[in-house]
């Protein structure tokens, strides 16, 4: 495939690489030589305001020829007044996809929640369906009509179960001061059941309720599901209540998990724009695993675009699994497929592949206040949507959410049904 454009910008290079080469498996090259393009006897796309014969002409809207942020593009691609879903694909599909994958909208809209996370707006609610995936599928069918001899890659549905380990244990392996504080809190709340359970666990008479790791591994193995565990190794704080990274039992657990599943770093709450903190926490996991760490997820799914990904790239992280809205089960960048992050400030592609989150159990349990039965319906719908477009499904669960402890009663069955549906 030959692509003509009058000026090959970084945005154009990124967009065509993402759509043609990565998603559709089409090898192509660029040219800005009009004469060479006209004489070329093969499949070709014209991405310019000029008109050529015997090719697919796509008229650029201008976004990919710009630099920096122009708020006016939100009116083109994200109309809060009347969100719509195109049935085919936008005329300039490459600009539309760039707008979504680059998180362009989030550089303009600044509404944040109490954790400093971007709040989903009305436009985000369109992304119950991964419209980028829909557009690319429709575009590929059009390419086959225009170029009958063109070979296009058929994507296969895939699924990954990811587990965040914020707190490996509810009671055990904690500093004595934290354990004492837990007793006092339960006493003040007259929570006798928790006092009894904590005592039983600390006396080794009962298993810690959050110690669900053997169960999780058994489910993954029985259903042949790829899994990644993200471990929090932060300094203890208000939002980071993990077991101390020096604890021998915690280190042993991480090593055992890594023998069966992939392991990544769950970067702490305040690491989002603190490169030194990121570096320290990555080093801790690498010292436990005795090998480089290449996968990450931000705690609370906090992101600062583009700085978080710029730091991750500098520290050798190659894949990140933080792209999702905690409060809504939307596709944050309108796709389920992995893609490389584009830095709009530096105008370049970063070597960090983003794996969008398809759904998170806390979205349903905590934010939407759904029952396990209601949540399962939503999860099944999300799985079916990803399967429809042969996408990449990434689920997010926590070790405590399958504990059947307190507010998580009934959720283990949801997890099992979800895993089963993911692999059908």
CATH of the domain at 251: 3.20.20.370
Average pLDDT over residues 254-262: 97
**Range with the lowest mean pLDDT among 154-158, 237-241, 323-327, 384-388?**
237-241
286 and 382 co-located in one domain: yes
299 and 384 co-located in one domain: yes
141, part of any domain: yes
406 and 259 co-located in one domain: yes
The string of pLDDT tens digits covering residues 60-114 is 999 999 999 999 998 888 764 444 455 588 899 999 999 999 999 999 877 888 9
Q: Count Cβ atoms within 10 A of the Cβ of residue 5 and give its class: 0-12 exposed, 13-18 middle, 19 or more buried.
A: buried
The string of pLDDT tens digits covering residues 375-409 is 999 999 999 999 999 999 999 999 999 999 999 99
Q: What's the domain range around 137?
A: 2-146
As beta bridge partners, residue 320 has 296, 354
* Separation of first and last alpha carbons in the chain: 36
Element (H, E) at 2: strand 2-4
Residue 191: what pLDDT? Answer: 77
Last residue of a domain, one of 114, 146, 178: 146
Helix (H, G, I), strand (E, B) or coil at 225: coil
Residue 46 and residue 56 in contact, taking contact as beta carbons nearer than 8 Å: yes
Question: DSSP readout, 152-212?
Answer: ------EEEEEEEES-S-SSTT--HHHHHHHHHHHHHTT-HHHHHHHHHHHTTSS--TT--
The string of pLDDT tens digits covering residues 179-200 is 776 778 877 887 788 788 778 8
pTM: 0.94
141 and 48 co-located in one domain: yes
Integer Cα distance of 110 and 174 in angstroms: 38
13 and 101 co-located in one domain: yes
Q: Count Cβ atoms within 10 A of the Cβ of residue 23 and give its class: 0-12 exposed, 13-18 middle, 19 or more buried.
A: buried
190, part of any domain: no
- Which residue has better confidence, 186 or 268? 268
284, part of any domain: yes
73 and 19 co-located in one domain: yes
102 and 165 co-located in one domain: no
162 and 243 co-located in one domain: yes
Query: pLDDT tier at 201 (50, 70, 90 boundaries)?
Result: confident
Residue 43: what pLDDT? Answer: 97
20, part of any domain: yes
| Element counts in the chain: helices (H) and strands (E) | 15, 13
Number of domains in the chain: 2
Question: DSSP readout, 70-104?
Answer: -TTHHHHH--TTS----SS--TTHHHHHHHHHTTH
201, part of any domain: no
62, part of any domain: yes
217 and 119 co-located in one domain: no
377 and 245 co-located in one domain: yes
φ, ψ at 45 (rounded to 5°): -120, 130
**Range with the lowest mean pLDDT among 67-81, 98-112, 139-153, 305-319?**
67-81
Last residue of a domain, one of 111, 146, 181: 146
235 and 262 co-located in one domain: yes
183, part of any domain: no
% of residues, the chain, pLDDT over 90:
79
96 and 137 co-located in one domain: yes
51, part of any domain: yes
- Residue with tokens 């319906």, as numbered in its chain: 377
């Amino acid at each position: 495939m030959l692509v003509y454009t009058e000026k090959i910008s970084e945005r154009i290079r990124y967009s065509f690489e993402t759509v043609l080469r990565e998603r559709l498996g089409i090898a192509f090259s660029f040219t800005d030589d009009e004469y060479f393009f006209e004489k070329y006897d093969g499949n070709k796309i014209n991405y310019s305001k000029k008109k050529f014969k015997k090719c697919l002409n796509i008229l650029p809207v201008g976004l990919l020829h710009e630099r920096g942020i122009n708020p006016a593009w939100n009116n083109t691609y994200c109309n809060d007044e009347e969100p719509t879903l195109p049935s085919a694909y936008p005329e300039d599909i490459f600009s539309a996809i760039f707008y979504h994958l680059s998180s362009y909208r989030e550089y303009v809209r600044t509404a944040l929640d109490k954790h400093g996370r971007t709040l989903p707006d009305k436009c985000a609610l369109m992304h119950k369906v991964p419209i980028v995936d829909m557009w690319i599928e429709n575009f590929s069918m059009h390419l086959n009509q225009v170029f009958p001899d063109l070979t296009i890659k058929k994507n296969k549905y895939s699924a990954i179960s990811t587990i965040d380990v914020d707190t490996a244990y509810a009671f055990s392996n904690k500093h004595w001061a934290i354990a004492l504080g837990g007793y006092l809190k339960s006493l003040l709340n007259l929570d006798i059941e928790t006092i009894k359970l904590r005592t039983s666990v600390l006396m080794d008479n009962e298993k810690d309720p959050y110690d669900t790791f053997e169960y999780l591994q058994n489910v993954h193995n029985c259903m042949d599901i790829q899994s990644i565990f993200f471990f929090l190794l932060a300094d203890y704080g208000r939002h980071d209540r993990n077991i101390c990274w020096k604890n021998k039992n915690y280190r042993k657990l991480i090593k055992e998990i890594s023998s069966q599943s992939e392991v990544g770093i769950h970067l702490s709450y305040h690491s989002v724009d603190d490169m030194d903190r990121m570096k320290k926490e990555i080093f801790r996991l690498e010292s436990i695993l005795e090998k480089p760490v290449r996968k990450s997820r931000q705690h609370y799914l906090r992101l600062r675009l583009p700085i978080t990904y710029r730091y991750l790239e500098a520290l050798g992280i190659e894949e990140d699994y933080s792209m999702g809205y905690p409060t809504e089960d939307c596709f944050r960048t309108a796709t389920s497929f992995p893609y490389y992050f584009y830095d709009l400030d530096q105008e370049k592609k970063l070597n960090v592949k983003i794996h969008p989150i398809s759904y998170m159990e806390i979205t349903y349990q905590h934010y939407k206040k759904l029952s396990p039965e209601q949540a399962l319906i939503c999860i099944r719908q999300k799985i079916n949507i990803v399967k429809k477009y042969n996408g990449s499904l990434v689920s997010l669960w926590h070790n405590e959410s399958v504990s059947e402890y307190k507010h998580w009663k009934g959720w283990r069955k949801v997890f099992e049904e979800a895993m089963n549906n993911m692999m059908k």
